[in-house]
């Protein structure tokens, strides 16, 4: 009986040891698999965060570059309008802006008088349009351009809206390609500049739309 009892004890101890070893190995493997599963969402979240940061960096860089176009152009015009001593400044006002303003006034007065011949006289319309001189009109546009550029650089949608207003008013005045002679260099240049401004207008619209979408996403997260 003693021999059998000893054998039985050895067998049962080996079996229990094997069961414990199996359970410990299975538990360790399950815990390791859980660890792997736990680390997977963390890596995905980190990658998603990197993509968001990269997207914001690209959007900021593009916005600053777009605003810089208006900022530098507005600063140049402001310097020219406030400092008439330099020949280049006089040339900007007298040879570039003044002829375009005169052309736009003549076209506007002719259009209004033709649409309402009994109510408006072309000479009276021209007198009303000439009430504000070219320098004042140019200065008003320049201030709007500079203010819009600074606000856009600071990521305010008001800046984009001001620049959209500025672009809408300035583009048909400065680049009326349809009034130029066909197949001429002036028509080609004005056509390119006109549609370049249309593309810039589209970029400003995109900034307004993206800002609204970002505001909606923040409201949903809160």
**pLDDT, one tens digit for every residue, the chain (222 residues):** 454 455 454 545 554 545 455 455 555 554 444 444 454 556 667 777 777 788 788 989 999 999 999 999 999 888 888 876 666 556 666 677 878 888 888 887 777 777 766 666 656 655 666 667 778 888 999 999 999 999 999 999 999 999 999 999 999 999 999 989 988 999 999 999 999 999 999 999 999 999 888 888 777 776
**What pLDDT is recorded for position 75?**
93
Is 72 a domain residue?
yes
Residue 188 and residue 194: Cα distance in Å, rounded?
10
**What pLDDT is recorded for position 42?**
66
Residue 120 per-residue DSSP state:
-
Residue 179 and residue 104: Cα distance in Å, rounded?
11
Q: Are 190 and 180 in contact (CB under 8 A)?
A: yes
Count of domains for the chain: 1
**What pLDDT is recorded for position 134?**
79
Is 18 a domain residue?
no
- Tally of residues, the chain: 222
**What pLDDT is recorded for position 115?**
73
Is 73 a domain residue?
yes
**What pLDDT is recorded for position 64?**
95
Is 217 a domain residue?
yes
Residue 112 and residue 119: Cα distance in Å, rounded?
9
Is 89 a domain residue?
yes
**What pLDDT is recorded for position 156?**
95
Is 60 a domain residue?
no
**What pLDDT is recorded for position 84?**
62
Is 34 a domain residue?
no
Residue 99 and residue 88: Cα distance in Å, rounded?
16
- H or E stretch including 187? helix 185-221
Is 129 a domain residue?
yes
**What pLDDT is recorded for position 4?**
47
Identify the domain containing residue 179 by its residue range: 67-221
């Amino acid at each position: 009986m003693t021999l059998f009892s000893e054998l039985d004890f050895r067998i049962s101890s080996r079996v229990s040891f094997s069961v414990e070893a199996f359970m410990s190995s299975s538990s360790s493997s399950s815990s390791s698999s859980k660890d792997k599963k736990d680390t997977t969402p963390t890596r995905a979240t980190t990658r998603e965060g990197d993509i968001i940061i990269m997207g914001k960096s690209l959007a900021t860089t593009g916005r600053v570059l777009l605003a810089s176009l208006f900022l530098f152009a507005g600063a140049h015009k402001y310097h020219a309008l406030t400092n008439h001593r330099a020949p280049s400044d006089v040339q900007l006002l007298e040879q570039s802006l003044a002829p375009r303003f005169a052309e736009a006034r003549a076209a506007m007065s002719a259009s209004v008088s033709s649409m309402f011949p009994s109510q408006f006289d072309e000479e009276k319309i021209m007198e009303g349009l000439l009430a504000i001189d070219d320098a004042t009109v140019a200065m008003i546009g320049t201030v709007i351009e500079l203010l819009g550029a600074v606000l856009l650089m600071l990521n305010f949608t008001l800046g984009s809206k001001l620049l959209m207003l500025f672009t809408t008013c300035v583009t048909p005045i400065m680049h009326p390609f349809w009034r130029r002679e066909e197949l001429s260099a002036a028509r080609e240049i004005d056509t390119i500049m006109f549609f370049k401004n249309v593309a810039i207008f589209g970029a400003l619209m995109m900034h307004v739309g993206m800002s609204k979408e970002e505001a909606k996403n923040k409201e949903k997260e809160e």
